[in-house]
Amino acid sequence: MALIVQKYGGTSVASLEKIQQVARKVCKTHSEGNDIVVVVSAMSGETDRLIGLAQKLSKSPSEREMDMLMSSGERVSAALLAITLNELGTAAQSFTGRQIGMITDAVHMKARIQRITGEKLKEALTDHNVCVVAGFQGIDEKTGNVTTLGRGGSDTSAVAIAVAVKADLCEIYTDVGGVYTTDPKVVPNARKIDIISFDEMLEMASLGAKVLQVRSVEFGKKYNMPIRVKSTFEEGKGTLVTAEQKEMESVVVSAVAFARDQAKITLVGVPDKPGIAARIFNAVAEATINVDMIIQNTSAGGLTDLSFTIPKAELLKTKGLLSDTVSKVGAKKLQTDENIGKVSIIGVGMKSHSGVAAKAFSALAEGGINIMMISTSEIKVSCVVSNDELDKAVKILHDSFDLGKPVKKQ
């Protein structure tokens, strides 16, 4: 007897048949004596469809209205799943974010969860009903406005709910068998990882692996809620994302992540004096745009070049924001490059092994790949390369750290 939170992604509830399949899985776990909170995404493609509708009507629809619109997708799949569960004889109730008291800040389309009051959930659970919660959405307490948590946000709803109801387990069901050493579509011999630390998963998610939303892993780490990622359609243990264990350090590199949706902005000829970088990045931060790698050259003649990367989707907005700043700080011009990609190697083992970056750079050099920017942390090395060479770079790094081979137990 356990309290389990199960999250089913869009592809798991993509059709009525799949919803019935999910319902049978939920019924089975429930009939084994467990209490269950199910969190669902919108049916696959639905969120994109809704966004597309809005874009047909307006170039820049209000973010408040976008949240009203997008949150409806999850409401549909939650109700359909509850209907199916009841039909199968398992008492179930669906809830919106507002109904379970999912309180967020006021930042539309990327709201952060502040707390979950959860009375309705607790009541329903005392009666041993299955609770089906619409993921991805919350409510801004001050205004009562509906908010959404950013693309992929149902993962975060699930982990946050697991923490709030003190679940024994948080399972994220998806259309792949777990977390892989890299995307098997790019490197066919990519291997499923059995166990990975929160920190590595955090890096992987923020560096481009799409399997979990970054904030869901942050929640897991902060409240030490282990997350099991597994397939809805196939048997298997999946991947356990959990607190770091000593043995994990024996694997130097655990995964290669990559992101294609990046763009580089360069401010050319920026005066090299105090306060300039602060002004530039404050302008960007005010629009809640996530800046990633930043490089400032050594100055020549009192001028320097400053480059940074951002998500490609934010390029237009960032250019707009900076057009004023560029002239105010006296920079010569602003250049952009959309043909870039980012590849990263990740592993907690890097903390205790040296020469990892050198090995990665040598492998890329042998493959004739030019590195445009580099950034490192204790457990990752990231390189910006040309987007056309990204897949090749991923393969090279995956191979040179032997990630296709089973992990040696030490």
Instruction: Point out which residues bind Mg ion (CB under 5 A).
Output: 9, 152
Give the residue at shortest CB distance from Mg ion.
Answer: 152
Confirm or reject binding of residue 136 to ligand ASP (CB under 6 A): yes
- Give which of ligand ASP, Mg ion, none residue 8 binds (C-beta under 5 to 8 Å, depending on kind): none
Confirm or reject binding of residue 153 to ligand ASP (CB under 6 A): yes
CB of 317 to Mg ion, least distance (A): 24
Confirm or reject binding of residue 41 to ligand ASP (CB under 6 A): yes
- Closest CB to Mg ion among residues 9, 347: 9
When binding is defined by CB under 6 A, the residue of 93, 129, 154, 197 that contacts ligand ASP is 154
389 Cβ partners below 8 Å, 6+ apart? 341, 369, 370
- Closest CB to ligand ASP among residues 154, 262: 154
Contact 242, 226 (CB under 8 A): yes
- Closest CB to Mg ion among residues 73, 152: 152
- Closest CB to ligand ASP among residues 73, 101: 73
When binding is defined by CB under 6 A, the residue of 12, 29, 47, 182 that contacts ligand ASP is 47
CB of 157 to ligand ASP, least distance (A): 8
Contact 9, 172 (CB under 8 A): yes
- Give which of Mg ion, ligand ASP, none residue 73 binds (C-beta under 5 to 8 Å, depending on kind): ligand ASP
Confirm or reject binding of residue 232 to ligand ASP (CB under 6 A): no
Confirm or reject binding of residue 138 to ligand ASP (CB under 6 A): no
- Closest CB to Mg ion among residues 228, 264: 228
- Closest CB to ligand ASP among residues 201, 348: 201
Confirm or reject binding of residue 152 to ligand ASP (CB under 6 A): yes
Confirm or reject binding of residue 326 to ligand ASP (CB under 6 A): no
- Closest CB to ligand ASP among residues 29, 41: 41
CB of 156 to ligand ASP, least distance (A): 8
CA angle 299, 305, 311 (to 5 degrees): 150
CB of 175 to ligand ASP, least distance (A): 12
CB of 166 to ligand ASP, least distance (A): 23
- Closest CB to ligand ASP among residues 153, 238: 153
Confirm or reject binding of residue 216 to ligand ASP (CB under 6 A): no
Q: By CB under 6 A, name the binding residues for ligand ASP.
A: 10, 41-42, 47, 73, 135-136, 151-154
